[in-house]
């Protein structure tokens, strides 16, 4: 069944526009309580990032859950992965995050975790959707839910993050330029790094409700890169607004993205004998990472874009490591979901133990040039695109010319009437020419 409200990661949109309205979020809270807490006496945990609209939606969710009879534990501003961790350790029946991740403050959204701190299954999300459209009925007063605040939530998460590092590992002497994106990590991330001994120069740690992800953070890392050079730091770390993504900069201000971080972690784990199986990426993972893993004898598979697909593939194969170029990395032996801080600590741990700089650690992977062209198409063009022999033949011709030294990705956008034409290869001029050639074919065939 096609879902009406849920996207790839919960519900997200512009604040004040359906469904991201206070009255709809109230209904959502009740529906979650009915589906996830009807026969469970444990509470539902709620955390949020620093958007000003978080106050309104926190109250709406609390009211809806209470109306269903569910108890609530309020964490306040906390990173998304912290909510996943605290859902498990507080023995809650579910966790809710109020966040639009790396989007600007005008947007907001609601994400969910199961009692195990993992994303909800499609079936559970469908059950919640079905309940939203039912009449809003409040339980009688004797069975109404209660709410309480968890005052030590930040401290619990800080200790958890430090505990993912081998005992005795210190970051003494490291100078780190840290960008918290004016988001949910603005307190905990600097505290963790400083308690581990690093000298931390922080930006993006003064949220005002409207400056989250504003020219800062992992999606706009230029501020972090410049901060590295200005502060004389050894490296830079940029998190996104809700703290589940991370990218780095080396000491020269050069960006180190999620694919390269995944390479660094996988190499270290293979050398230490702690990499069971292989690594999971997505269709957008750079071909250079696949090539580097092939040279190292590390199995590698791709999934659709999105951490839930990566997580599912890791579970199916019994593997533990995967991620995306965006910096959304999963290490299932350390935590149950993508965690920017925990991922960053793994890289810092490798640097501390090896004595190598970030620039040295990334040397073994050569990123292939990538060209993406967005081709506008009519709203009904998706079916024509899927069945077009002309486009399929053109794609096969391009793959033949690349001759195994690159790859082609053609996919419709999930949110816009676009076909995304993406090519990677060793020769940038060839990749640019072939991408334009293929985009012209898509344009001519679909009338864009």
- Cα 375 to its chain centre, rounded Å, is 26
190-210: b or e for each residue (b if 16 or more CB lie within 10 Å)?
Answer: bbbbeebebebbbbbbebeee
What's the CA dihedral at 89, 125, 242, 38 to 10 degrees?
-40
Omega before 247 cis (within 30°)?
no
Q: Please identify which of the residues 101, 326, 331, 343 carries the catalytic annotation.
A: 101
Q: Kindly write down the DSSP assignment for every residue of 376-406, as one continuous string.
A: E--TTHHHHHHH-HHHHHHHHHHHHHHTTSE
Tell me whether residue 101 is one of the annotated catalytic residues. Answer: yes
The answer to whether residues 157 and 188 touch, using CB atoms and an 8 Å cutoff, is: yes
The percent of the chain in helix, strand and coil, each rounded to the nearest 5, is: 40, 20, 40
- CA–CA separation, 65 and 394 (whole Å): 53
Query: Residues 6 or more apart from 114 whose CB is under 8 A from it?
Result: 87, 94, 95, 120, 121, 124
Phi/psi of residue 72, each to 5°? -130, 140
The structure tokens listed for 140 are 């009688």
Q: What is the set of active-site residues?
A: 101
């Amino acid at each position: 069944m096609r879902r009406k409200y849920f996207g790839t990661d919960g519900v997200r949109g512009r604040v004040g526009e359906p469904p991201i309205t206070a009255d709809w979020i109230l209904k959502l809270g009740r529906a979650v309580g009915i589906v996830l807490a009807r026969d469970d006496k444990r509470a539902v945990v709620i955390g949020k990032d620093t958007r000003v609209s978080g106050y309104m939606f926190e109250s709406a969710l609390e009211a809806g859950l209470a109306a269903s009879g569910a108890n609530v534990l309020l964490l306040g501003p906390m990173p998304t992965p912290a909510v996943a961790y605290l859902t498990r350790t507080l023995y809650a029946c579910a966790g809710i995050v109020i966040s639009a991740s790396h989007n600007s403050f005008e947007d907001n959204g609601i994400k969910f975790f199961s009692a195990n701190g993992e994303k909800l299954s499609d079936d559970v999300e469908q059950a919640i959707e079905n309940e939203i459209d039912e009449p809003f009925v409040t339980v009688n007063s004797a069975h109404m839910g209660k709410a309480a605040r968890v005052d030590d939530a930040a401290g619990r998460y800080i200790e958890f993050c430090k505990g993912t590092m081998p005992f005795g590992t210190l970051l003494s002497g490291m100078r780190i330029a840290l960008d918290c994106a004016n988001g949910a990590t603005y307190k905990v991330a600097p505290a963790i790094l400083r308690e581990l001994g690093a000298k931390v120069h922080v930006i993006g740690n003064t949220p005002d409700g409207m400056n989250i992800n504003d020219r800062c953070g992992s999606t706009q890392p230029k501020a972090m890169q410049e901060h590295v050079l200005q502060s004389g730091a050894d490296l830079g770390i940029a998190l996104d607004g809700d703290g589940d993504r991370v990218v780095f900069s080396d000491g020269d201000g050069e960006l180190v993205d999620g694919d390269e971080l995944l390479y660094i972690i996988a190499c270290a784990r293979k050398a230490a004998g702690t990499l069971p199986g292989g690594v999971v990426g997505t269709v957008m993972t750079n071909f250079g990472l696949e090539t580097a893993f092939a040279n190292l004898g590390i199995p590698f598979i791709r999934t659709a874009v999105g951490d839930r697909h990566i997580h599912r593939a890791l579970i199916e194969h019994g593997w533990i490591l995967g991620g995306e170029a965006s910096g959304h990395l999963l290490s299932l032996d350390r935590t149950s979901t993508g965690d920017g801080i925990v991922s960053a600590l793994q890289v810092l741990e490798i640097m501390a133990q090896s004595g190598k700089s970030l620039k040295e650690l990334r040397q073994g992977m050569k990123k292939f040039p990538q060209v993406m062209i967005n081709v506008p198409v009519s709203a009904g063009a998706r079916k024509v695109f899927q069945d077009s022999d002309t486009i399929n033949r053109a794609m096969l011709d391009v793959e033949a010319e690349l001759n195994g030294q690159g790859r082609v990705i053609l996919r419709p956008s999930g949110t816009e009437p676009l076909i995304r034409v993406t090519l990677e290869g060793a020769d940038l001029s060839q990749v640019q020419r072939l991408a334009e050639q293929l985009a012209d074919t898509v344009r001519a065939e679909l009338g864009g």
